[in-house]
């Protein structure tokens, strides 16, 4: 249920920006895109929603299709393993992790958008889940390596945002799958909440520079 819903939301937002811009290839020119994308300087000015809303924007149809295919392929099994609520929490905290990395390392006027941080979080999550199940994770490491190379080679791709999502996704999943049986739900909730607070504090710290 969660994965198709996320795909539907991302697609709907893209369609809205494309219609508003009057061109599906240059939807980033729309007013909505400018209001929701991640620009560190605007976050510093108090527009905090951008650290989340930017993760539902995509620049052109190819960007959207690639991310949604990755979300579908990675997310289906993870949602079954983790459950709907935990999977959604993982997705959102990974998205926030990518945004926090951008806030820490990007110039104030740079613009970033896309679900890639969250998708990389799912890659990190899959590695942790496979290790927890004592299953081979070599193929996933290969996919992550390939995507890192692509992020380095193709201009305009946010490698920093990808790595931020990857690290946070892996950390969040470790907290979920290695939580002790006793009070498991409470421990999982506390871990995700704690990670979220740390990320928000890091973002807030960038506003003080």
Told to judge if 58 belongs to the known catalytic residues of this protein, a careful annotator would answer no
* 155-161 own/partner pairs: CB under 8 Å, 24+ apart: 157/116, 158/98, 158/102, 158/106, 158/112, 158/114, 158/116, 158/117, 160/101, 160/102, 160/105, 160/106, 161/98, 161/99, 161/101, 161/102, 161/112, 161/114, 161/116, 161/117
User: Do the Cβ atoms of 125 and 169 come closer than 8 Å?
Assistant: yes
Give 112's strand partners: 38
Told to judge if 63 belongs to the known catalytic residues of this protein, a careful annotator would answer no
Q: Which of 28, 58, 158, 162 is catalytic?
A: 162
Measured distance CA(161)–CA(144) in Å, rounded: 14
Give 38's strand partners: 112
Measured distance CA(159)–CA(164) in Å, rounded: 9
Q: Which of 28, 99, 116, 151 is catalytic?
A: 116
Distance set, CA 32 to CA 45, 90, 122, 195 (Å): 18, 26, 27, 29
Active site residues: 116, 162
């Amino acid at each position: 249920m969660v994965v198709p819903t996320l795909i539907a939301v991302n697609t709907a937002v893209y369609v809205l920006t494309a219609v508003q811009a009057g061109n599906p290839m240059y939807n980033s020119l729309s007013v909505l895109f400018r209001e929701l994308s991640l620009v560190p300087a605007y976050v510093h000015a108090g527009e905090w929603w951008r650290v989340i809303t930017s993760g539902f924007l995509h620049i052109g149809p190819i960007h959207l299709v690639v991310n949604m295919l990755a979300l579908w392929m990675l997310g289906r099994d993870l949602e079954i393993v983790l459950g709907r609520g935990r999977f959604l929490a993982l997705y959102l905290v990974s998205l926030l992790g990518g945004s926090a990395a951008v806030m820490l390392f990007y110039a104030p006027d740079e613009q970033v958008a896309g679900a890639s941080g969250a998708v990389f979080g799912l890659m990190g999550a899959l590695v942790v889940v496979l290790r927890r199940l004592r299953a081979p994770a070599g193929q996933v490491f290969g996919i992550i390596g390939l995507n890192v190379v692509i992020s380095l080679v193709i201009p305009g791709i946010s490698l920093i945002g990808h790595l931020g999502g990857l690290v946070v996704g892996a950390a969040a999943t470790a907290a979920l799958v290695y939580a002790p049986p006793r009070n498991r739900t409470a421990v999982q909730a506390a871990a995700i909440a704690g990670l979220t607070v740390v990320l928000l504090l890091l973002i807030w710290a960038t506003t003080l520079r």
